[in-house]
Structure 1
């Protein structure tokens, strides 16, 4: 089911969390927040929308990380019903797309629910105080040709890093619904 993310709730305080990578190493949101902010990307392995943007996400994340803006990805899908999203396949997917960021398992789906994540991909751009400043799409290319794209997430996070505030105009991300457990 195709869904769109809601409008950015500017200033919403992101809750801290502790999640593991596919190897079982634990990481917290607060330890990754950083002086210039943090992007939390809710993604999965099987969604065609995520597959379409995965390489662009890796590229933009590399640029953001080089500029001191941290990036993590969270997989909240119920991987027991969607085995393509299990931790072993997460590690494979991350390697295939050269993800330069942590890709974390939301085992009990509590983080996805706490954040109000809607779809994959769903981007949360936080300032250095952990306040939401961006809830938009990665770029304007969507599933099409990305050769002349406008990197909206990258531009927004650069603004957040400089000013602590995101752009007033944001276009919702769209993707597959998160697969919640019954």
Structure 2
């Protein structure tokens, strides 16, 4: 699979686009319900991407820690499930459970939320402050499926630490890298310049 770097549509300080999306059971979750008092991490993922699979358990562990520090976490899959059925809602619960995700994992059937965030790949990370303004958009860490670096989440953890301590975001942020979002025909973004 070709690596696709994320190209951030949202700029630093811009507000998190609102959403109301279902989880695998059909229960709807809104952005304001999943947000933490000190910040919110929105992650675009899918079940089959090797980049996501590689770091999924590390993300689950870190999310548990961040929750105790006031950071809400939510994962969203926006892939076209007609052509990639393994990313569908019927598999999301098992994937989340396997990797220790104690946060909502939501299904963006229309792909409108991925468009609103400018998500380009899986995984793609967007960290917002307690007021809902974009603080960091960048990679989890330097691990990749073929480079033998174990996932640590050190880049994203540094961003969370900076947010919580009142420091500036890490700069420059390295873009997230992964598999491109599988767009439905006619939904492909023209560009996220």
After TM superposition, the score normalised by the length of structure 2 is: 0.88
Within a 5 Å distance, the mapping from 1:36-55 to structure 2 comes to 36-55=38-57
Residue 13 of structure 2 aligns to a residue in which SS?
Answer: coil
Q: Is the 8 A contact 2:122 2:177 kept in 1?
A: yes
Q: Secondary structure at the match of 1:59?
A: helix
Unaligned 5+ segments in structure 2 are: 186-193
SS at match of 1:135: strand
Displacement of 1:168 in angstroms is 2.5
Shift of 1:45: 0.2
> Per-residue deviation at 1:33?
2.0
Deviation of 1:6 after TM superposition, in Å, equals 2.5
C-alpha separation in 2, matches of 1:134 and 1:6 = 13
SS at match of 2:138: coil
Q: Residue 87 and residue 164 in structure 1: after superposition, are their counterparts in 2 closer, same or farther (change >3 A)?
A: farther
* Stretch of structure 1 that moved more, 109-118 or 1-10: 1-10
Encode CA deviations 1:118-146: one digit per residue, 9 max, x unaligned.
00000000011111111111112233232
> TM-score w.r.t. structure 1 length?
0.93
Which of 151, 162, 166 is matched with 2:165 structurally?
162
Residue pair 1:55, 1:97 contacting (<8 A) in 2 also: yes
Question: Which residue is 2:189 aligned to?
Answer: none
Structure 1 residue 30: Cα displacement: 1.8
Deviation at 1:160, TM superposition (A): 1.3
Inter-CA distance 108–92: structure 2 relative to 1 (3 Å threshold): same
RMSD: 1.7
| Aligned match of 1:81 | 83
- TM-fit CA distance, 1:107: 1.2
Q: Which runs of 5+ in 1 are unaligned?
A: none
Stretches of 4+ aligned residues off by more than 3 angstroms: none
SS of residue in 1 equivalent to 2:183 = coil
